[in-house]
Amino acid sequence: MGVVFDIKRFAVHDGPGIRITIFLKGCPLSCWWCHNPESISAAPQKVKKQLKLNGKVYTEEETVGKEVGVSEVMQEVARERIVMEESGGGVTFSGGEPMLQSDFLLDLLMASKKEGYHTSVDTSGLARQEDFEKIIPFTDLFLFDLKIMNEELHKKYTGVSNRKILDNLKFLSDNKKTIRIRIPVVKDVNDSEENISQTIFFLKTLKGIEQVDLLPYHHIGKSKYERFGLKYKMPDQIETSDEEIQAIKSKFENEGFKTKIGG
Ligand code: SF4
């Protein structure tokens, strides 16, 4: 059994083809820009939801996150089999941090491979190396977040050191896995010349990097914070301009990385 907080069908940014993405609840990071604050706490949560009907506002309670078994999840995945097969898609496990529920994730990946699905794991990279080792044989593609290279800044903006994360990325590369790097681009946080150069320098030491995705910061998750009783730490954050994102993209491309803006 594990806790899932969302299922997205027809996902086109979480790996090749059209996919179904399963979101596992719980994350050991607390990134300032996180647009899924409902993913951070590992247990199901009760939150208040406001509905407007005929000019009146009604408040109702909803539970975010549900404890489910592997077979229940696989039934949902099976409904998308034709779409996945015809588009060259598959199933992606995301979060939160899916590795936080490592046994559940392993069972889901094994069940997916048994059915012949292409599998992706979208990870922050913060997990025990032995847990990565277990899922490697059943994971076709890793979507690996790389946020900030400077350890102190990483701690400031995510709450954790990046050492284990960088070690795990190297570990996957050494194990000849196919990896897509995902970089949230947050203005004045990680878009500096220095951070981009250090990121490129590190990635050039690795093998198996099939693509770099640049994910520009946006305000989408801001309104959710209040509902979850959390403080939004970037109320005045401005978005990166198209020109700035294009300039970062060119830097990666000039170093030979296939680079995309968006997932
Ligand atoms: S790693 Fe992802 S899910 Fe976890 S806090 Fe950061 S942005 Fe949110």
Pocket-testing residue among 64, 123, 124, 156, ligand 1, by greatest number of atoms within 8 A of Cβ: 124
pLDDT over 80 (residue 209): yes
Nearest alpha carbon to residue 212 among 248, 239, 187: 248
pLDDT surpassing 80 at residue 221: no
- Contact (CB, 8 A) for 83 and 89: yes
Q: What is the CATH number of the domain that holds 223?
A: 3.20.20.70
Backbone φ/ψ region at 17: left (φ over 0), alpha (ψ -120 to 50), beta: left
CA–CA gap between residue 155 and residue 196 (Å, rounded): 18
Q: Which residues 6+ apart lie within 8 Å of 229 measured at CB?
A: none
Which amino acid residue places its CA nearest to atom 3 of ligand 1? 96
CA atoms of 100 and 28, how far apart (whole Å): 8
Lowest-pLDDT range, 146-150, 197-201, 238-242? 238-242
Dump the DSSP string for 82-116. Answer: HHHHHHT-EEEEESS-GGGGHHHHHHHHHHHHHTT
**Residue 24 confidence (pLDDT) above 90:** yes
Q: What is the pLDDT of residue 136?
A: 98
Whether the CB of 27 sits within 6 Å of ligand 1: yes
Work out the average pLDDT over 241-259.
97
| pLDDT over 80 (residue 191) | yes
Apex CA 3: angle with CA 62 and CA 23, to 5°? 90
CB atoms within 10 A of CB 244: 14
Q: What is the pLDDT of residues 33-80, one digit of tens each?
A: 998 888 999 999 888 777 788 888 888 888 999 999 999 999 999 999
Summarised one tens digit per residue, pLDDT across range 84-94 is 999 999 999 99
* Residues of the chain above pLDDT 90, percent: 83
pTM for the model: 0.95
Mean pLDDT, range 221-235, rounded to an integer: 83
Cα distances (angstroms) measured from residue 134 to each of 102, 106, 181: 9, 7, 21
- Cβ–Cβ under 8 Å, residues 179 and 144: yes
Q: Is 30 in the pocket of ligand 1 (CB under 6 A)?
A: yes
> Does the pLDDT of residue 225 top 90, yes or no?
no
Mean pLDDT of all residues belonging to the chain? 95
Helix (H, G, I), strand (E, B) or coil at 253: helix
Name which residue sits closest to atom 8 of ligand 1, judged by CA: 34
Domain count, the chain: 1
Determine the structural domain holding residue 235 and report its residue range: 2-261
Beta bridge partners of 3: 67
List, for residues 103-131, the tens digit of each pLDDT value: 999 999 999 999 999 999 999 999 999 99
Alpha carbons 254 and 50: distance in angstroms, whole number: 48
Measure the CA–CA gap between 131 and 98, rounded to whole angstroms. Answer: 11
Of 138, 142, 140, 11, nearest to 83 (Cα)?
11
The DSSP call for residue 143 is E
